């Protein structure tokens, strides 16, 4: 088992022993510039997700150009360190390029652009990306269709179309529907269940559901409820990945809150380990320093497994405890 100088086994080794793969979202900037960030990833994880680099906007500076450099660099790092890559994400209403706005007006042109995008990107990473978040966040908090440009241009069938296009480009890739706020049993996850049930019934090439798991220490997910939710997707024949876990605290952060946070990580991971069809667990960032959360939720603090300096937190040891 791979150990560091302090004799601490890496998460990836502990996870492997449990038949789980443990991943992290990675950004190209710090991966290139910050040796601490790079070292933690290389040591601890065996799945990478590009935090932004594979999204539509970042990949498509213009209609006729693809910018694969940053995503390719992350994939190359993964290959060098024996890690698998989750592709994130093909169809999402955020981080779309500005030039796309005028394409929606012409339905046929919009279909060409989106189909072409999915084909080119999935083909580019064929054999390198084992699972794709094909459609991200298509439902709103009440479980209705989110009002996105995709919905307005193509109607609700866009979800099914996207899965078919991704499958055409890489028949071996596992294709996921990914969303947040649907981690346990609730109105939104009920709607997500009906959506997936429908896709399965129609024979769409969908293989899994991603539970993002952006949660708070104040209102943590209820483990039995998450277990029941995973169970019903498994009964549809689907895999479940925990795709973007972070546990938000509020500044200033106390030691007790950090301990609570560790418990939240431990409980969710324990549920995933217990479940038969949950074998990938991904955290949404490496060190607290680069987390996306403080920019989006003012006052949000310290959501990840490693602190600003890259030291493992209680949350890290909570994950270790679940893996032991
Ligand atoms: C976030 C990234 O972490 C940020 O860097 C970016 O500015 C916005 O997107 N759900 C998702 C992810 O599916 O793609 C989002 O990532 C976080 C919420």
Kindly report, residue by residue over 182-194, the tens digit of the pLDDT.
999 999 999 999 9
Mean pLDDT of 131-155: 97
The answer to whether the CB of 323 falls within 8 A of the CB of 11 is: yes
- Check: CB of residue 282 under 8 Å from CB of residue 23: yes
Q: What is the pLDDT of residue 3?
A: 56
Domain ranges of the chain: 11-323
Residue 4: pLDDT over 60: no
| Active-site annotation holds for 137 | yes
In this structure, which residue's CA is closest to atom 5 in ligand 1? 292
Q: What is the pLDDT of residues 249-292, one digit of tens each?
A: 999 999 999 999 999 999 999 999 999 999 999 999 999 999 99
Please choose, from the candidates 265, 291, 312, the residue with its C-alpha nearest in 3D space to the C-alpha of residue 44: 312
Is the beta carbon of 51 within 6 A of some atom in ligand 1? yes
pLDDT at 97 over 90: yes
pLDDT digits (tens, 9 = 90+) for 104-115: 998 889 999 999
Catalytic residue list contains 244: yes
Q: Could you tell me the sign of the dihedral formed by the alpha carbons of 231, 25, 58, 86, in that order?
A: negative
Ligand 1 contact via 52 beta carbon (within 6 Å)? yes
Give per-residue pLDDT as tens, 39-57: 999 999 999 999 999 999 9
Pairwise CA distance, residues 216 & 250, whole Å: 9
Residue range 79-95: average pLDDT?
98
CATH fold of 11-323, please?
Answer: TIM Barrel (3.20.20)
Q: How far apart are CA 62 and CA 27, in angstroms?
A: 21
Compute, in angstroms, the gap from residue 52 CA to the centroid of ligand 1.
7
By CB atoms closer than 10 A (0-12, 13-18, 19+), residue 171 is exposed
As a residue count, the chain comes to 324
Please report which confidence band the pLDDT of residue 83 belongs to, taking 50, 70 and 90 as the band edges: very high
């Amino acid at each position: 088992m791979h150990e560091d100088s302090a004799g601490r086994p890496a998460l990836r080794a502990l996870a492997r022993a449990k038949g789980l793969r443990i991943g992290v979202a990675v950004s190209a900037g710090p991966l290139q510039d910050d040796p601490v960030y790079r070292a933690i990833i290389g040591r601890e994880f065996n799945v990478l997700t590009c935090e932004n680099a594979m999204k539509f906007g970042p990949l498509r500076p213009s209609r006729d150009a693809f910018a694969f450099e940053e995503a390719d660099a992350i994939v190359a790092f993964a290959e060098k360190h024996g890690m698998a890559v989750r592709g994130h994400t093909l169809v999402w209403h955020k981080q779309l390029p500005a030039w796309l706005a005028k394409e929606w007006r012409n339905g046929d042109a919009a279909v060409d652009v989106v189909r072409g995008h999915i084909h080119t990107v999935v083909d580019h990473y064929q054999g390198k990306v084992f699972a794709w978040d094909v459609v991200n966040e298509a439902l709103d908090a009440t479980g209705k269709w989110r009002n996105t440009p995709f919905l307005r241009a193509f109607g609700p069938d866009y979800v099914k179309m996207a899965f078919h296009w991704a499958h055409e480009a890489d028949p071996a890739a596992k294709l996921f529907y990914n969303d947040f706020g649907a981690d346990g049993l609730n109105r939104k996850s009920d709607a997500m269940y009906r959506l997936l049930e429908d896709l399965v019934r129609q024979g769409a090439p969908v293989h899994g559901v991603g539970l993002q798991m952006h949660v708070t220490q104040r209102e943590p997910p209820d483990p039995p409820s998450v277990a029941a939710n995973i169970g019903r997707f498994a009964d549809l024949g689907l895999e479940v990945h925990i795709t973007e876990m972070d546990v938000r605290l509020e500044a200033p952060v106390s030691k007790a809150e950090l301990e609570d946070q560790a418990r939240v990580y431990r409980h969710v991971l324990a549920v995933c380990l217990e479940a038969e069809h949950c074998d990938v667990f991904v955290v949404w960032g490496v060190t607290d320093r680069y987390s996306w959360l403080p920019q989006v939720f003012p006052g949000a603090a310290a959501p990840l497994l490693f602190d600003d300096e890259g030291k493992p937190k209680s949350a890290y040891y909570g994950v270790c405890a679940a893996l032991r």
